[in-house]
DNA sequence: CTAGGTGCTAGAGCGCACTCTAGGTCAAGC
DNA sequence: GCTTGACCTAGAGTGCGCTCTAGCACCTAG
């Protein structure tokens, strides 16, 4: 697989993939005779996982740290577990908070709807009440 | 309330609060005789809501747009509702995806635990399996 | 009456995570 | 054999969202 195909399948841009390799998120890739990167399918699963780590808010330096430890092998399993555990716990908190935000938004949208419909009814800006 | 107290209660820094006023997230504040900003308690609820919009990933320019519309009054209710609805729907998708990520992490952490405990057992790096 | 703390402005600076540019190489199809 | 398009490198540039600096004003407590 050349880099363009990986980009298309993973959703990361070609530029980003090269950048990821440069900073160590991807292992140094094999090259074909012409010096072009040649990836195998594994990289797609790894990129999908990296995408999840990114989406949950893990900063790139910790993704790099994780990637480096992964490349080092079994001796780093404990540290990797701990790193993931930390972000997992943080994520659980964030999911709870975002779920609450979802409720807040639904309430607010509902209040806008009530306020908005009948223009003969008294209007009030819910923003002044909640906030 | 002076700006320091707002900072302490809201969790935003003094610098950030002034910045928020400058870009229009906060209305131009009242000043005391010495030219210092004087806030009333409402601002805390507004900041809390802004914090939620921020946390759910609404970029600052849309928060500014929302704030400006809010300042304009009832004529913008429909537009505000639509804006919130858009981000609400996006958020619902993200919450679902993050919940999935939580499961992925739990599975991975569990696999690390199994791999790690008995050092007499065969070890395998789960990373080569998933992902 | 003075020292320290908090406030003010304008504007520069920063860290993050890309994203793009310039100037090239290479391989496959016409 | 030449064009086209995907690839290469090093390094500069970008947008976001703050964050900090310099240099000054004010106010309150000792």
Q: pLDDT (tens digit, 9 = 90+) per residue, A6-63?
A: 999 999 999 999 999 999 999 999 999 999 999 999 999 999 999 999 999 999 999 9
Q: Please check whether residue B95 is in contact with residue A98, taking contact to mean a CB–CB distance below 8 angstroms.
A: yes
- The proportion of chain A whose per-residue pLDDT surpasses 90, expressed as a percent, equals 85
CB contact under 8 Å between B85 and A109, yes or no, is yes
State the average pLDDT for chain A.
90
Question: If one looks up domain B3-115 in CATH, what number appears?
Answer: 1.10.1660.10
- Residue B95: CA atoms inside 13 Å, Cβ hemisphere, count? 19
* Interface list for B 54-113 with A (CB within 8 A): 55-56, 70, 73-74, 77-78, 80-81, 84-85, 87-88, 91-92, 94-95, 97-99, 101-102, 104-106, 108-109, 112-113
State the average pLDDT for chain B.
90
pLDDT band at B115 (very low <50, low <70, confident <90, very high): low
- Which is higher by pLDDT, A98 or B126? A98
Check whether A123 has a pLDDT greater than 70.
Answer: no
pLDDT digits (tens, 9 = 90+) for B73-103: 999 999 999 999 999 999 999 999 999 999 9
Question: If one looks up domain A3-116 in CATH, what number appears?
Answer: 1.10.1660.10
Check whether B17 has a pLDDT greater than 80.
Answer: yes
Mean local confidence (pLDDT), A104-123: 71
pLDDT band at B124 (very low <50, low <70, confident <90, very high): very low
Check whether B108 has a pLDDT greater than 70.
Answer: yes
Compute the distance between CA of residue A44 and CA of residue A99 in angstroms, rounded to an integer: 30
- Which of A73, A82, A102 should we substitute to test contact with B (largest number of B Cβ atoms within 10 Å)? A102
pLDDT at A125: 41
CB-neighbour burial class of residue A67 (10 A; exposed 0-12, middle 13-18, buried 19+)? buried
pLDDT digits (tens, 9 = 90+) for B33-78: 999 999 999 999 999 999 999 999 999 999 999 999 999 999 999 9
Instruction: Break chain A into its structural domains and give their ranges.
Output: 3-116
Q: Which 3 state secondary structure label does DSSP give B31?
A: strand
- Which of B77, B124, B130 should we substitute to test contact with A (largest number of A Cβ atoms within 10 Å)? B77
Q: Which long-range contacts (CB under 8 A, 24 or more apart) does B89-94 make?
A: B90/B56, B90/B57, B91/A98, B91/A101, B91/A102, B91/A105, B91/B56, B91/B57, B92/A102, B94/A55, B94/A98, B94/B56, B94/B57
Check whether A98 has a pLDDT greater than 80.
Answer: yes
pLDDT at A15: 98
- What sign results for the dihedral spanned by CA atoms A129, B3, B6, B11? positive
């Amino acid at each position: 697989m050349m880099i363009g195909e990986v980009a298309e399948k993973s959703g990361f841009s070609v530029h980003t993939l090269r950048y990821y390799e440069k900073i160590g998120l991807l292992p140094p890739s094999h090259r074909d005779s012409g010096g072009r990167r040649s990836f195998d399918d594994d990289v797609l699963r790894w990129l999908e996982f990296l995408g999840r780590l990114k989406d949950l808010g893990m900063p790139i330096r910790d993704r790099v740290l994780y990637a480096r430890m992964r490349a080092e092998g079994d001796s780093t399993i404990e540290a990797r577990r701990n790193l993931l555990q930390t972000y997992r716990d943080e994520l659980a908190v964030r999911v709870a908070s975002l779920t609450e935000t979802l409720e807040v938004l639904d309430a607010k949208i509902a209040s806008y709807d009530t306020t908005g419909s009948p223009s003969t009814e008294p209007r009030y800006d819910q923003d002044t009440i909640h906030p």
